[in-house]
Each structure stands twice: as structure tokens, then as C-alpha cells.
């Protein structure tokens, strides 16, 4: 996430050398699913996805979240701190 802590104008920046299906899943700190977005097959390279494309109309409460990134064979989980605007 850039920046982190983040507001609604943040971005997810990721790089993958092999490409594949891209899915982003957002959980609260208790492990409850907030949202899951499937972006389909993406070519290898750099991606920048606005946070607003992940959470749609929802706004996030202030707190700590976990973002699971699945892109082809790569799986990452990153902490994301959200603060009030």
C-alpha cells in the first residue's frame, strides 16, 4: 500500500514476473472478510490498483486490515493501516 497508513486515495503497488489471475482480498484484523475482488488474468509486470477499485462504495473505518494478494503462483499478505480523513 502506498502510502501506509492509508486513506481512501491509497494504491496497491505489486510486481510479478510471471503473471496470472489476480485476486485481492481484504480482511479486518479479526480475520473477517471485508471484500474480495477478482481482476482476471494479468500479464507479468507492475500493477498499481487504487484502493477505491478494491473497496468500491464502502469506506473503511480507522484501524488495521490485512490485504491478501494472489497473482498467479504468488501469494502475499500485507498489513494496511487506515486512518480517518
For the cut 60, the answer to whether the pLDDT of residue 57 exceeds it is no
- Span 50-55, average pLDDT: 84
- Span 41-50, average pLDDT: 91
Domain count, the chain: 1
pLDDT digits (tens, 9 = 90+) for 4-13: 777 767 888 8
Q: 77 or 19: whose pLDDT is higher?
A: 77
Structural domain of residue 17, as residue ranges?
A: 11-82
Distance of alpha carbon 43 from alpha carbon 51, whole angstroms: 20
Distance of alpha carbon 24 from alpha carbon 54, whole angstroms: 7
Assign residue 40 a region: left if phi > 0, alpha if psi is -120 to 50, beta otherwise?
left
* CATH number of the structural domain spanning residue 21: 2.60.40.3080
What is the 3-state composition of the chain as percent helix, strand, coil, each rounded to the nearest 5?
5, 60, 35
Residue 2 lies in a domain: no
Share of the chain above pLDDT 90, in %: 47
pLDDT digits (tens, 9 = 90+) for 29-43: 999 999 999 999 999
Amino acid at each position: 500500500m502506498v502510502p501506509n497508513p492509508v486513506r481512501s486515495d491509497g494504491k496497491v503497488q505489486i510486481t510479478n514476473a510471471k503473471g496470472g489471475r489476480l485476486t485481492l482480498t481484504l480482511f479486518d484484523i479479526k480475520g473477517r472478510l471485508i471484500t474480495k475482488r477478482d481482476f482476471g488474468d494479468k500479464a507479468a509486470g507492475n500493477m498499481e490498483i487504487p484502493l477505491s477499485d478494491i473497496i468500491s462504495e464502502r469506506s473503511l473505518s480507522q484501524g488495521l486490515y490485512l490485504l491478501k494478494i494472489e497473482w498467479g503462483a504468488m501469494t502475499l499478505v500485507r498489513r494496511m493501516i487506515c486512518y480517518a480523513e
